Structure 1
């Protein structure tokens, strides 16, 4: 396990808190804007970060985060400038755990060893490939461990015992547990019934700490996750919706956003105030 994750979970345990981890798409709507957003959420109390690298076919994501991928790509986002952003974030926040969510095609395209080495050198602690199940993870795990990157795997809500055993054995840093079936998004809320069973099923196999994600959009969802035994919660779509509300794009005569045109933030002050208020409330809900 990355020492940053280990130190974080140990410190939070001593303080009687869980972890709140916001997801942010690098480059949305521009690389410069996403860096400012990172600074805001860290100042507001984020315990760690999960950062996305834009990809054209994000199959695990719902409409909200899909749109952030495409918006970032239209704004000029690339893997190379994502790496530059991570380096900047690591320099500014040397002790903050940084987890990456990246689709497997990026690893294939760059080559496994180069891919993991580049992200390790930039300052990432972990990488989750949402379209790579643990049963197919061996070459990814080997390359990650060689580069001192923690491989993270998803534990589905209704996974078979063999899958959960593999996830617990192969994940380092934390386990990303899905609190409900489906893709990312707040359209389908986190299912509070059965959360204890989801967490306990994973913990039977003695893996790293469990973070619950998918549909976590309100402080009560964070409270429920921690009450169920999770070490914390990850929020993506709810964060992304805040950004989306403050971004506009050029449109055609019918008001439809034009593909390939970058987005722009209409009111930076309002955006960052809303992000600060949201992250502060979600972090406050981690008190046990």
Structure 2
């Protein structure tokens, strides 16, 4: 059982829902990212997605695009992000860590090589929004061989056969996109989120996590009424772009994480 599966099983046993936080690795620096991950864990976050920055993050809105650019400008790359994960594990961090990135960065060093190195560093899974199930055979094989979870996506536009296929392939959890579009905080979530989650749960027992547009406790309560977890990214990432002193950045991220996690209980 992977760390991700263990975490969802523990949440289920407590009758609790999960909170997944996304931050861009290396924004504003890798040293700060290390401290932010520990702060998120202490605040009660259940899983962390580390964004491996890419120059053309097609699924991301302006807040996370800007974070990727800041991280790249600060020198973040595949090698030092995986070193960061290894450091977090040597610190004793037990929280599930997933890498969210784009296929180009997995293909460039070789898919098998990337997955093996990620697993050796302590990564638990991959989230690759530009690899659809129909084109993911090589990644599927490599992640399975390395013992990594490969998260699959469903969206409000996904037909039933696509939902079933994603459910068959998914490991760790299924990422339910709340809206058609890109990441970013929104004032309200569309009502079709509930029907999407129910459609997925009708065909699988794999946990379902809802992301895109979630930034407030009321959003978290809305999605976790039906889903197993809420995913929050831009609401955390925006603090990293405000030029705050590190103690204040960590304080604000911690307070937000605690507020959002409270909404899952």
TM-score (norm 1): 0.89
Give the CA deviation at 1:6.
2.0
- Corresponding position: 1:270 with 2:251: no
Show the 5 A alignment for 1:68-217. 68-186=67-185, 188-189=186-187, 191-217=189-215
* Distance of aligned partners of 1:6 and 1:198 in 2 relative to their CA distance in 1, 3 Å threshold: same
Q: Is the 1:190–1:214 Cα contact (8 Å) retained in structure 2?
A: no
- Corresponding position: 1:286 with 2:264: yes
Structure 2 gaps, min length 5: none
Give the CA deviation at 1:27.
0.6
In structure 1, C-alpha distance between the alignment counterparts of 2:227 and 2:92, rounded to whole Å: 25
Give the CA deviation at 1:191.
1.9
Give the CA deviation at 1:195.
2.1
Per-residue CA shift, 1:119-152, capped at 9, x if unaligned? 0101111101111111211111011101111111
Q: Secondary structure at the match of 1:185?
A: coil
* Distance of aligned partners of 1:11 and 1:207 in 2 relative to their CA distance in 1, 3 Å threshold: closer
In structure 2, C-alpha distance between the alignment counterparts of 1:230 and 1:201, rounded to whole Å: 11
Give the CA deviation at 1:14.
2.0
Which aligned runs of 4 or more in structure 1 are off by greater than 4 angstroms? none
**What residue in structure 2 maps to residue 255 of structure 1?**
none
Q: Secondary structure at the match of 2:241?
A: helix
Q: Is the 2:99–2:125 Cα contact (8 Å) retained in structure 1?
A: yes
In structure 2, C-alpha distance between the alignment counterparts of 1:126 and 1:91, rounded to whole Å: 18
CA RMSD of aligned residues (A): 1.3
Q: How many residues align?
A: 265
Structure 1 gaps, min length 5: 248-265
Per-residue CA shift, 1:187-211, capped at 9, x if unaligned? x445241222010111122151000
In terms of Rg, which structure is larger? 1
**What residue in structure 1 maps to residue 5 of structure 2?**
6
**What residue in structure 1 maps to residue 223 of structure 2?**
225
TM-score (norm 2): 0.96
Q: Secondary structure at the match of 2:20?
A: strand
In structure 2, C-alpha distance between the alignment counterparts of 1:111 and 1:87, rounded to whole Å: 20
Q: Is the 2:156–2:192 Cα contact (8 Å) retained in structure 1?
A: no
Q: Is the 1:212–1:230 Cα contact (8 Å) retained in structure 2?
A: yes
Q: Secondary structure at the match of 2:189?
A: coil
